[in-house]
Amino acid sequence: MERSPYKLPSQHGLASLGYFLLSGYYPRITWRTPPVTEQAYTGSMEYVTDPNLRPIVAKVEAGERLSFAEGMQLFDTPDLNTLMRLANLVRERMHGDKTYFVHSIRLEFTNICYVGCTFCAFAAHKDEARAWDYSPAQVVQEVSRRYLPGVTELHMSSGHHPNHKWDYYPEMVQSIKAAYPELQVKAFTAAEIEHLSRISKKSTLQVLTELQQAGLSAMPGGGAEIFADRVRKQIAKNKVKADKWLQIHDEAHSLGMRTNATMLYGHIETLEERLDHMDRLRTLQDGSLSKYGGGFHAFIPLAFQPMGNTLAQNLGKTDYTTGLDDLRNLAVARIYMDNFPHIKSYWVMIGSELTQVSLDWGVSDIDGTIQEEHIAHAAGATSPMALSQASMVKMIQNAGRVPVLRDAYYNEIKVFERNEIQAAD
Ligand code: SF4
């Protein structure tokens, strides 16, 4: 049976409402779930109100992997308290209270794109007034304009430009590294790598190898959308196919590059298709860990933004994803994707307050300070375009967790103590 992510039974909403009211969990209040390892499951199976969850609770407590059917039980359960506590159990086993963020710059070097994904409000035709296209020298100027002391990561992803030649891309990375050798460049989604393979007539592995030689450190997780063919044909039919996306990440891992993985949810996909997406990533990660000793750093669910794109117009959709859907999705990911080091909340898409709540639902990373995001904001994201380092620290501390400033490789740069809020900027 096909299950819609939107028509959740009413008890889900009531349970969620009860949770928020009873927990007193709202922004700026320092409160959080009691540590699961100490209280939640020690002889406490009676608090599991969904009998279907009891064998799953036992498996997660024992550190065993869940099957696909068990993953679907997590999506279906009305027992949100148990779902949250299970996700928190996995999260705290891996990271305790530590919550990671990066001091970063986000840069889109062009919004000109020929691909035509129906969910996208960012892409422009080259003749449109809102189109931009930076040369390598202009990219360096843009980095300079956004640069702040302590920034470690430059995150770039952009449109598939119809005219740029291959040399433009390694030259851009080399120019950035010449001006800012300390910056770790995380750039080019697997969809972009496939595009570069086509225009250069090189294999995707060769493209990755040459970009790495130019100074590329890591790959972002974009372009994954939803792997299921049924959905991909409707939202991204001209984009890299699912198997190729996965192959490119495997190739990046084989070069020692670490990558992320995203999932765009909240449009036409079913819950089975979400879990299928997670399942394919879990399988690839198993292979990368065993073959190369490392692979994905983080899984990042991206909430569909309903403004300015044809998919939303065709669906008549003006609503954003619900907070409950966002949290359930993160929790299922944390429990099911047991070999991913981090589940990341992207505060740009779900907002700072829900990001705080998500730290109890399996999330251990909240991305970065960003300095100008344009892709989600073109589609209606209502969050700020950037956050200061102090804001990130406060966001995490006010949710009762320990902020950890990391770099693009997840090396810990600084662990913030409670009295360091004011000193963070
Ligand atoms: S999502 Fe990316 S590839 Fe698709 S149309 Fe937008 S910019 Fe182009």
For the beta carbon of residue 288, count every other beta carbon within 10 angstroms: 21
CA–CA separation, 255 and 269 (whole Å): 33
In short, whether 281's Cβ falls inside 6 Å of ligand 1 is no
Say how many Å lie between the CA of residue 34 and the centre of ligand 1.
42
Task: Please indicate whether residue 113, judged by its CB atom, sits closer than 6 Å to ligand 1.
Answer: yes
Nearest residue to 411 via CA among 176, 102, 151: 102
Candidates 108, 110, 117: which one to mutate for ligand 1, based on the most atoms within 8 Å of Cβ? 117
Return the axis-axis angle of helices 80-95 and 10-23, rounded to nearest 10°: 60
Helix, strand, or coil (residue 264): strand
* pLDDT on residue 106: 92
State the closest ligand 1 atom to the C-alpha of 158, by its place in the atom list counted from 1. Answer: 7
User: Distance of CA 149 to CAs 88, 103, 206, Å?
Assistant: 34, 9, 34
CA of 217 to the centre of ligand 1 (A): 23
Nearest Cα residue to atom 2 of ligand 1: 159
Cβ atoms within 10 Å of 318's Cβ, excluding its own? 10
What is the Å distance from ligand 1's center to 123 Cα?
A: 6
pLDDT confidence of residue 270 = 97
190 lines ligand 1 (CB under 6 A): no
Q: Is 242 in the pocket of ligand 1 (CB under 6 A)?
A: no
Per-residue pLDDT of the chain (425 residues; tens, 9 = 90+): 444 443 333 333 334 444 443 343 333 334 444 444 444 444 467 789 999 999 999 999 999 999 999 999 999 999 999 999 999 999 999 999 999 999 999 999 999 999 999 999 999 999 999 999 999 999 999 999 999 889 999 999 899 999 999 999 999 999 999 999 999 999 999 999 999 999 999 999 999 999 999 999 999 999 999 999 999 999 999 999 999 999 999 999 999 999 999 999 999 999 999 999 999 999 999 999 999 999 999 999 999 988 889 999 988 888 889 999 999 999 999 999 999 999 999 888 888 899 999 999 999 999 988 776 666 666 666 666 678 888 899 999 999 999 999 999 999 999 998 767 644 44
**Atom 4 in ligand 1: which residue has the minimum CA distance?**
117
120 ligand 1 Cβ < 6 A: yes
Q: Is 378 in the pocket of ligand 1 (CB under 6 A)?
A: no
Instruction: State the pLDDT at residue 45.
Output: 77
Ligand 1, atom nearest to 116 Cα: 5
- The reported pLDDT for the residue numbered 419 is 67
Tell which one of 108, 109, 120 to mutate to probe ligand 1, the residue whose CB is within 8 A of the most ligand atoms: 120
Ligand 1 centre to CA of 117 (Å) is: 5
Q: If you ran DSSP here, which 8-state letter would residue 112 be given?
A: B
DSSP notation for 118-187? TT-SS-B-TTSTT--B--HHHHHHHHHHH--TT--EEEE-----SS--TTHHHHHHHHHHHH-TT-EEEE
Q: Whose CA is nearest to atom 7 of ligand 1?
A: 159
**Is this structure's pTM higher than 0.85?**
yes
Q: Is 122 in the pocket of ligand 1 (CB under 6 A)?
A: yes
Choose the residue to mutate in 122, 158, 263 for probing ligand 1, maximizing ligand atoms within 8 Å of C-beta.
122
Any ligand 1 atom below 6 A from CB of 85: no
Q: Is 117 touching ligand 1 by the criterion CB < 6 Å?
A: yes
* Distance of alpha carbon 76 from alpha carbon 195, whole angstroms: 38
Q: Which of 112, 113, 156 has most ligand 1 atoms within 8 Å of its beta carbon, as the pocket-test mutant?
A: 113
Q: Could you tell which of 119, 132, 160, 196 is best to mutate to test the pocket of ligand 1, judged by most ligand atoms within 8 Å of the CB? A: 160
Q: What is the chain's Cα-based Rg?
A: 21
Q: Is 292 helix (H, G, I), strand (E, B) or coil?
A: helix
Check pocket membership of 183 for ligand 1, CB cut-off 6 A: no
List the domains of the chain with CATH numbers.
10-95 (no CATH), 99-424 (3.20.20.70)
Q: Which atom of ligand 1 is least distant from the CA of 236?
A: 4
